[in-house]
Amino acid sequence: MPDVKSLPELLGSASETEIDGFLASLGDQTLMALPFLFEFWALPHQREPVGAWASWVIMGGRGAGKTRAGAEWVRQQVEGAASIDAGACRRVALIGETLDQVREVMVFGESGIMACSPPDRKPEWQAARRVLVWPNGAEAWAMSASSPEALRGPQFDCAWADELGKWRRGRDTWDMLQFALRLGDAPKTLVTTTPRNIGVLKEILEAADTVVTHAPTEANRANLAPGFLKKVYADYSGSRLGQQELDGKMLEDVEGALWSLECLDAVRRPEAPELDRIVVAVDPPASSKSTADACGIVVAGLQQIGEGPQDWRAWVLEDASVRGASPAQWAGRVVDAARSWQADRVVAEVNQGGDMVETVLRQQDPLLSYRGVHASRGKAVRAEPVAALYEQGRVFHLPSLRELEAQMGEMTIVGFEGKGSPDRVDALVWALTDLMIEPAATFRRPQIRRL
C-alpha cells in the first residue's frame, strides 16, 4: 500500500492500467467505502492540525480543495462510530457570504456536505429551517455573513466559515460568531478562504490560537481538469490576481496605488439602483493574438440623486473584457453588453484603431450610439480624477469584478505596475470620465435672478 499522504498525487499521475489494477486489488466493501474515507484521500493542507487551537484557517488558491476540506471537517465533528452514534459536536454554524452560497456551495455543492456524506450518514436538509439534520440528531445551521445579527440567540460548538475574505460585514459577523460559540469544552472554527487583505482576516491569522494550512491551486491538480490548469496559469501566472487566486497569497497594497485594496472592498454592493444613464466603454487591443492585451470592455451607469455633480453616483456594472478575440468578436461582445444593459452610448478609445473601431462596431449594429475618444495624456494621469471619485465615496461596484479590481490595485501614480496593459482599467476610466468627469466640468448651475 503506498504512503497515504502521497496517494492522490500518485493516482493523479498513474496510467489507466495502473489505476485499474489498484482498484481491482480492493474488496467490494472497501471499494464502496473508499470515496467516503477522506483521511485516505486528503492532501496535507486538508488535514486537521494537531494540538489545541480555536481557529484553523485553510488559505489556498481557487480549486485547491478548501470546500471539500470544510465539508469533511464538519462530518468529522458531527459523526460518531455508527450512523446514530453521537459525535464530538451537535450544533454547527455554516456561514457563507450569502444564504445562497451556503446552500449551493457548502451544502449541495459538488464538494459540499451532501456530496461527501455516505448514504447511511447523509443529513436531511430542512429548507424551512435552513438546517441540516444528521441521523444522530446533530444539526448544522445555514447562516449569512450579510446578517450578523442573526447570530444573536443561537449557540454552537463548532463553525465552518467559508470565503471569509469576501464577507461584506466580516468584522461584525466574526464578532457575533465568537459569542455564539459557547457549547462544548473547546469550540472550534474552520475558515476556508482565498486570501484577501482585510483587517478581520489578518487579525485571525495573527491570533495565538490560530493555525494555518496553505496550498496553491496546483496542489489539487489530481482533481482538476488539465485544461483548466493550463489556461489559468498561462493567463494569470505572475500577475497579482494570479498570486491571490492561484498561489493563495495574501496581497498588500502596491506602493503608490491609486486604489487600495481596502477601498475596493468598501465599494462593493449586491445590486444597483435604477440608473439614469448607462455607457459601455471600450479599450480596443492592438492585436487579436492570444498573447496580446485584452479588449477592455466595462459597463457603468450614472445615478442622479440631486441637482449638482456632487450628488451624482457611478455604478460599475460589468467587466465584459475579452482576450484573444478578433475585431468582429470583441465588437460583438461590446454590442451584446450594450443591448443587455440597454446602454445609452458606447465610448471607445480610437488611438490604436482610428476609424476601424467605429467600422467594426457598426458592422454589428449600424444604429449604435457611438462616441470615439482620443487619449492625449498618460494612463495614470487620466486615472487620477477617477480615483478621486472613489475616495469621495461616489463610485460603487457590483460583485464579480475581480479581474478589473486586481488591475486597479496595480495602477499607481507613476504608471501600471502589473503584467501587460491595464486594458480593463482604461475602459473603466473612459466610462466614468464620460459619465461624471466631463459632464461635471461643463455643468452650470442655474442662476438665481435677484430683484
* Cβ(377)–Cβ(429) below 8 Å: no
Q: Where are the strands (E) in 1-156, listed by range?
A: 55-60, 91-96, 124-126, 131-133, 139-144
C-beta neighbour count of 53 within 10 angstroms: 18
Cell reading at 362: 457598426
Closest by CA to 384, choosing from 197, 256, 252, 293, is 256
Instruction: Report which secondary-structure segment, H or E, holds 315.
Output: strand 312-319
User: Environment class of residue 86 by beta-carbon count within 10 Å: exposed (0-12), middle (13-18) or buried (19+)?
Assistant: middle
Instruction: Report which secondary-structure segment, H or E, holds 330.
Output: helix 327-340
Sheet containing 131-133, strands listed edge to edge, beginning at the edge strand earlier in sequence = 124-126, 131-133, 139-144, 91-96, 158-162, 188-193, 55-60, 210-215
Closest by CA to 347, choosing from 409, 260, 282, is 282
Identify the pLDDT of residue 283.
Answer: 93
Identify the pLDDT of residue 444.
Answer: 62
Identify the pLDDT of residue 150.
Answer: 94
Between strands 91-96 and 158-162, the pairing is parallel
DSSP codes of every residue in 55-81: EEEEEE-TTSSHHHHHHHHHHHHHB-S
pLDDT, tens digit only, all 451 positions of the chain: 344 444 555 555 567 777 677 767 777 766 666 677 787 788 888 999 988 999 999 998 888 899 999 999 999 999 988 888 989 999 999 999 999 999 999 999 999 999 999 988 999 999 999 999 999 999 999 999 999 999 999 999 999 999 998 888 899 999 999 999 999 999 999 999 988 877 889 899 999 999 999 888 988 888 888 888 888 887 777 667 777 888 888 777 777 889 988 888 889 999 999 999 999 999 998 766 655 678 999 999 999 988 788 899 999 999 999 988 899 999 999 999 999 999 999 999 988 766 789 999 999 999 999 999 988 888 889 999 999 999 999 999 998 898 999 899 889 888 888 778 899 999 999 999 999 999 988 766 655 555 5
* Cβ(136)–Cβ(87) below 8 Å: yes
Identify the pLDDT of residue 420.
Answer: 80
Statement: the pTM of the whole predicted model exceeds 0.85: no
